[in-house]
């Protein structure tokens, strides 16, 4: 009766430790509305928040994320927005990298040890969230609120 919330499901590959935003392969003509992500319940100001937004292929690890960003962690709420995404179906995952190793650390059986969150606040059910659990539609200006917690 255990779950499988492995790091492989949440790890955002190696984050490029650049400033804010990396938009990959998105032409300006394709850009839709503004996506605003409000990260809530951030438990501490330690380390950085890493957010990755992508389609199903990116979520399942077979394509790069369309948007990846690193923000300083702050207790409570941290907001991020991007204009880089065309309208479509996406999922967002967030992790708080407490120790700066660029990964969501997991324990002996693969359960996350650092705070994390996903769009729809998906937490999984007898296993990690699926893309469908975390899926949201970007249609024009869109706002998401995502809890970041252990």
Partner 1 sequence: MPARRDLLRFMAAGGLLAQVPLRVHADVWQDSFAQAVQRDPWLRGFRSVQRETYDSQATVAGRWPAGLAGTLFRNGPARHEIGNFRYHHWFDGDGMVHAWRLGPAGVRHQGRLVQTRKLLAERAAGRALYPGFGTLPPDPAPVTSADDVNVANISVLPHHGKLLALWEAGSPWEIDADSLATKGLYAFNDDMAGVPFSAHPRVEPDGTLWNFGYVSDGGFIVLWHIDRNGQVVKAGKVDVRPMTFPHDFLVTSRHIVLLLPPLDYTGGRAADFLDAHEWHPDRPTRVMVVDKNDFSRVQWLELPAQWVFHFGNAWEDNQGVIHFDGARAPEPSSMLNAFRAVMRGERGDTATFVHHHYQVDTRKGTVAETPMFDRGFQSEFPVIDPRVSTLRNERLVFLCTDDAHRVVHPLLNGVAVFSHAKDHLQTFWYGDNVIPEEHLFVPAPGSRPESDGWVVGTAYDAVADQTRLNVFDVRGIGDGPVATATLDYGLPLGLHGKFSGA
Q: List residues binding partner 1 (CB under 8 A).
A: 1-5, 107-111, 113, 123-127
Radius of gyration of the chain (CA): 14
Q: 34 vs 121, which CB is nearer to partner 1?
A: 121
19 Cβ contact list (under 8 Å, min separation 6): none
Q: 89 vs 125, which CB is nearer to partner 1?
A: 125
Question: Minimum Å distance from CB 18 to partner 1?
Answer: 31
Q: What is d(CA 70, CA 47) in angstroms, rounded to the nearest whole number?
A: 10
Q: 65 vs 114, which CB is nearer to partner 1?
A: 114
Question: Minimum Å distance from CB 120 to partner 1?
Answer: 11
Residue 134 has a CB neighbour count (10 Å cut-off) of 23
Residue 48 has a CB neighbour count (10 Å cut-off) of 17
Residue 123, exposed/middle/buried by CB under 10 A (0-12, 13-18, 19+)? middle
Question: Minimum Å distance from CB 139 to partner 1?
Answer: 26
Q: 38 vs 120, which CB is nearer to partner 1?
A: 120
C-alpha count within 13 angstroms, C-beta hemisphere, residue 25: 6
Question: Minimum Å distance from CB 128 to partner 1?
Answer: 9
Question: Minimum Å distance from CB 2 to partner 1?
Answer: 4
Q: 41 vs 83, which CB is nearer to partner 1?
A: 41
- Strands (DSSP E) contained in 43-134 are 48-54, 67-72, 76-82, 88-97, 116-118
């Amino acid at each position: 009766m255990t779950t499988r919330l492995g790091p492989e499901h949440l790890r955002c590959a190696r984050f490029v430790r650049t400033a804010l935003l990396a938009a990959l392969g998105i032409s300006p003509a394709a850009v839709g509305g503004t996506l605003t992500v409000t990260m809530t319940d951030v438990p501490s100001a330690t380390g950085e928040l890493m957010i990755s937004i992508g389609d199903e292929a990116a979520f399942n690890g077979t394509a790069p994320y369309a948007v990846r960003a690193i923000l300083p962690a702050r207790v409570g709420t941290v907001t991020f927005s991007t204009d880089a995404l065309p309208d479509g179906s996406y999922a967002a995952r967030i992790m708080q990298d407490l120790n700066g190793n660029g990964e969501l650390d997991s324990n002996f059986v693969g359960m996350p040890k650092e705070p994390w969150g996903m769009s729809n606040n998906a937490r999984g059910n007898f296993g990690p969230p699926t893309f469908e659990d975390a899926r949201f539609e970007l249609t024009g200006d869109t706002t998401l609120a995502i809890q970041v917690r252990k």
